[in-house]
Amino acid sequence: MATKTYQDLVEEARDLLQDTDTNLERYSNAFLLRILNRGLRDLGTMRPDVFYDLFSGNNLNVPEIVESGAGAGQINWTDVFSLEFQFYSPLVLYVTGVAEVADDEYTVNTRAALLVQQFRNQVIGL
């Protein structure tokens, strides 16, 4: 299997969002990365064991994914996806679902809510 990056994760979410035309992007990279970072924090809340090696004292330190210039506690989005690969697909679903919440056309038929619920089910069921 090819090595995946956080950028690949965002691009896969773009595929599901049908937002692949670089001239007409509905969602900026910054917007999708904010959602991904929220998803990582939610993952840490539901499954703190995923980030055990990042505990400092009594605090769970979930890294922030950034486009460039990573500092302390940050990871460039071009870096290899560093979590267990079983969490990759659920995070793609999370980014897709939360991004779609901004689109009224999808919230009417509950697709966005279903994707976020699928994230939760897959993470808890692992």
Does a structural domain hold residue 105?
A: yes
Q: What are the tokens at 69?
A: 């210039």
pTM assigned to the model: 0.86
Domain count, the chain: 1
Alpha-carbon gap, residue 96 to 26, rounded angstroms: 12
User: Which residues form the domain of 67?
Assistant: 6-124
Q: Which residue has the higher pLDDT, 1 or 4?
A: 4
Q: pLDDT tens across 28-37, in order?
A: 999 999 999 9
Enter the tokens of residue 113. Answer: 């809510």
Q: pLDDT tens digit string along 6-28? A: 999 999 999 999 998 888 888 99
Residue 81 pLDDT greater than 60, yes or no: yes
Rounded CA-CA distance 5/88 in Å is 10
Check residue 3 and report its DSSP letter: P
Q: Is the pLDDT of residue 5 over 70?
A: yes
- Flag whether 23 is in a domain: yes
